[in-house]
Amino acid sequence: MNHDSRHQLWAQSGFPLIPLEEFRKAEVLHYYDVETDIELLDMLDNATSQKQINVGIKLYWGDAREKLCQGIHDLQLNSFVMGSRGLSAL
């Protein structure tokens, strides 16, 4: 399955929740067509070990306002971290 078809497949619900430890693997990053920030992953690893929490990553495509609200609602989140590529006002 190519990247465009995966994006279309998961356009409504976002990609499945990806455990933090899986998100470091090159094949996982390639499959989901994302680049990673090693510094951010290291910070999350540190927080998970110090606070004994689990971190999962879920990717959405589409209008940021809609997807932020959808993600918060769907996942019943306690906290939310968002990245930006600097291409918009977000």
Q: Tell me the whole-structure pTM to 2 decimals.
A: 0.58
d(CA 25, CA 29) in angstroms, rounded, equals 6
* Cα-Cα end-to-end distance for the chain: 31
d(CA 15, CA 22) in angstroms, rounded, equals 14
Structure tokens at 17: 């929740």
Higher-confidence residue of 50 and 6: namely: 50
Q: What is the domain partition of the chain in residue ranges?
A: 3-75
Model confidence pLDDT, tens digit, residues 40-64: 888 888 988 898 888 888 877 778 7
CA 50 vs CA 1, 32, 43, 75: distances in Å: 38, 28, 11, 23
Residue reference for tokens 């689990």: 54
- What is the Cα 35 distance to its own chain's centre? 11
